[in-house]
Structure 1
Amino acid sequence: MKKKLILLFAAVLFCLQLKVAEAIPEPSKLSTVITLLEETPIYTAPDETIEPIGALAPQNLQVIGAEGNWLTFQKDTDKKWFKVQTWMGADQWIHLELRRMGFIQKTDMGIWLSKETRLNDSPFSDSATELALSPQTVRIVARYQNKFQSSYLAETWAGEKWLIDAENHSFPVTIVNEQIALSTTTSKFDLPVPYDGDNGVLQPQIVTSFEKYNDWYHVRTASGEETWINKKFSEPENIHRTDESVEFHTVTPLRKYPNVYENQYGRYCSSNGESL
């Protein structure tokens, strides 16, 4: 009798194990590292009806799988199950919004903001504050990247705050302190790109550059005016004026700047074909 009870118990236990195995579908393959931004419950199975076995503190975490339909979603706040590797093993699950499947990378760089930029308490837009930065250069100490957006962590007068999608209106700059002699008339620009056109000209003078983006210099004139210049967008030196007649036999485009031209895609290029 005792032997029969033991065999019956073993059979019931085996059936329960089979049901548990059937209840947890095989996860989709996924291998990535994410940064948890807040304390996150952890489960032994992708099921919120069971009690979590604990919580993970904010940290970098290895993801090794995901629920089968994790790529099917309507918005970035949809929650999906992800299988993770922790110090407790590889059979742990977390339930995260898709937008939280991102990674924070430390950095140290300056960016120039071309327009007013809202400050946020997290890398996500629903954490916007009432504070904003006017166009200026700020120091970036970290970047958060997920499949939906990129956010910068900036040092501000209000402490460290997040700038969301600032890449759309910012330029990475290098701080310089350089005197630049403008020997000819040089066009000035509101942005360090030529596509919106120039905003007047600077007459020959010495200007001070305080930051640089590629071949573009952010300069300050003696009168205190700040503007962007690129010496390719200036009159060439040693111009010899003449009243000679020139005959053209084909349609010839006119250029405002002899050292650059606009290609068929509407992009300005230097004489060697490089985009500006």
Structure 2
Amino acid sequence: MKHKLFIWMLLMLLFGSGSFTAMNNALAAVSDSTGMRLPEEISLTANSTPIYDEMDGDQLYDAAPQTVQVAGAENNWDRKLLGGSKVWFQIKTSNEVKWVLLQNPQFEETYYNYVVLMQEESFYSSRSTRGLSLGTISPQVVRVVYTDGEYYLIETWLGYKWIHPKPPNIQQAQYYGRNSSGLSAYLRTITPMFRVPDAGSEVAGVLSPQDVQAKVTLNNNEWLYIDTWEGKRWVNTRISYPPDLRSEERSLTLTDSAIAYEHPDKQARELGRLTPQKVTVFEHGGGWHHIHSDWLGDCWIYQLNPEDDPAAYTPPTVVISKVITGVKKSHQYELGAGWRNSPFDLRMVVLNGERINPEGFFTIGQEVGLRFSIQNVSKDELELNPLTSFEVEINRQLDSGDGSIKPELVWSGKILASKSVFKSGESEELTFIWDQKDSDGKQVPFGNYSVQIKLPMTIDYTKAGASEQGQAQTAMLTHFPLRISAP
């Protein structure tokens, strides 16, 4: 009995030893695995890539640059790739599989992770950063083919190389793909650009209001990586500058505690609060004041007198047109091509002194010069119906927050036709002044406005004794921007 028990225990030990050995071998295999998946596609980027019948076999022909499907790869292909060696890949051709030997192969875009380098980094040929650096790479978005703890194998101009980034850590980015146009966004005001997605970093320049597109974004599309004339730059959809920003040193008294922002936008990061005090402003615009705080550094505060606050403005309930008077002049022009409102072309412009500048600003309360003109752009002499009148409207342009504009009527005027007969090419101009008061006699708030002729409208006229009608439509100069700066 004892003999059988001893044999049974010996068998258990032998089988148990074998089980433990098999288990250890399995664990060793798992720990040796890189976890890299076989790519679905490879881009052959060289002018000509040799194609073989098998690994270490005969060369059949050279392939031009193209993207091919992957059918397989040699054993330990991932380890060889991570070590910088050439790798054999089996590819699909039109009717069979062939082999290519590649170093630093380019995979499909979805294979990579897209990460952001927050500062300049050195890169190396191996995971060990104790070796000689091969160079440096500037802050930018890079493609990562493999991650091993705090080490990243990234794509560089020298092929795949390793980095061990310094804090702050690189960030994962969202990539929209080669076949996507990317994310479209509208920059509603002057917007700062950054070299890294950090609102506290140095401003690399500014962009005017415009539509932009980005294939790489961060933080739920808050940060956008876009092409600019200076190269790739980051913009933040929550950070913008006042369009009427101007450098001017002046004192400002804070009558109450004020939030200090990192940028002139209430969606920007709050840096702290300032107690009531007198501060020195070195630039301002749109109710924002840029100051230097001893304990917060450069920061922005928003402060306006209640009567100047656009949010407190109430537009007229009913806008009644007033008859417009001013200085009239007639001119005779040679007709050219491209007139839209035939036979009478209508125009409305804002005068910045003697100049016409759609980007210029008027200070709040400043008189605004406006000019309306009507011209006969037909080849015939026309007689305008003497009862004809033209309505001019001034609309406040309210930002709806999604890139669209909501117009708000604040003033309207009526221009009565005084000239009846227009020779071909002849025009009449009326120059008049708007005092920035709405139809109720209140000062309008600072912001963007549009001065425009109310269209469409039907114009009655007589040609060669016969009555006719023309339809005046909206054209390039039938509406003109007007910008009023904050006090």
> TM-score scaled by structure 1?
0.45
> TM-score scaled by structure 2?
0.27
